[in-house]
Amino acid sequence: MKRYIAAANWKMNKDVPESREFVKELLKKLLNIKDAEVILCPPFTSLFSIGELLKKSKVRLGAQNMHFADSGAFTGEISAGMLKSVYCEYVILGHSERRHVFGETDEDIHKKLLKALEKELKPILCVGETLEERQSGRTIDVLKQQYRAAFDGLSDNDMRRCAIAYEPVWAIGTGVVATPEQASEAHREIRQLIARQFSGDLAQEMRILYGGSVKPENADELIATDEIDGFLVGGAGLKVDSFASIVQSVDNYLQAQE
């Protein structure tokens, strides 16, 4: 069975004491979780400390970004090797805030993805259209462009180590969630791109997450949508109760499939 993901992206929120408090509370609430893979992506400053707390748990640690170089004169940047040394297993790449606020290009993201894989991190690649792109009928073209640029030239084995998050920019942090139909259409398109580049089997194996205003109130409906293999959660991932409830929705769905 495919292991669905519930990942929290804390963005620039929570200092070290707040991060530790969250993790201690969360671990108590996840005792009955069996099948969902839970990933926390705190700010860089909390990675080591949380990593220590998570060592004996099944919760995985991810970073929100990285640089594509191994080391050097890149003031303010963090390398893949550094992330590995603070217990990271995953790294989010190409988040819409990185693309649109910090001007990351498809080429930057491709270089980061290759470096992450070389250093044995598992990338979660974010793709998604803006409202203007959707309204002008360019959603599929944008997804194709972002997908192709990121995964160009990858081997099957490297692709297997990635996950993809479809995150429509208009749904991120806005309270406007994509409908199951809108999400399914985008996920199906992404799966077809994988099938064409690799194989139908690999396309089915890959985990394609949905992100954008996921909350406890909409998680059950979304996760029941065939194409959605988990969530990347922003705002609702900052509160223990709401994130634990979303994890529970993912886990309940998986257990019902057994």
Sequence length of the chain is 258
CA distance 214 to 233: 6
Stretch that binds ligand PEP, among 128-136, 140-148, 227-235, 239-247 (CB under 6 A): 227-235
Which 5-34 residues touch ligand PEP, going by CB under 6 A?
A: 9
CA distance 157 to 155: 5
One symbol per residue from 182 to 221: x for binding ligand PEP (CB under 6 A), - otherwise; what is it?
-----------------------------xxxx-------
CA distance 110 to 101: 18
For residue 125, the one-letter residue type is L
How far apart are CB 160 and ligand PEP at their closest, in Å?
A: 23
Residue 172 or 194: the one with the smaller Cβ distance to ligand PEP is: 172
Residue 80 or 124: the one with the smaller Cβ distance to ligand PEP is: 124
- Interface with ligand PEP includes 233 (CB under 6 A)? yes
Catalytic residue among 37, 67, 95, 187: 95
How far apart are CB 241 and ligand PEP at their closest, in Å?
A: 15
Task: Output the 3-class SS for 187-228.
Answer: HHHHHHHHHHHCCHHHHHHCCEEEECCCCHHHHHHHHCCCCC
How far apart are CB 212 and ligand PEP at their closest, in Å?
A: 5
CB-based contacts of 238, cutoff 8 Å, min separation 6: 8, 10, 13, 14
Dmax (CA) for the chain in angstroms is 51
How far apart are CB 209 and ligand PEP at their closest, in Å?
A: 9
Of 173, 201, 224, 255, the one binding ligand PEP (CB under 6 A) is 173
Q: HSE (CB half, 13 Å, CA atoms) of 33?
A: 25
- Interface with ligand PEP includes 128 (CB under 6 A)? no
Note the residues at the interface with ligand PEP (CB under 6 A): 9, 167, 172-173, 211-214, 232-236
- Which residues are tagged catalytic? 95, 167
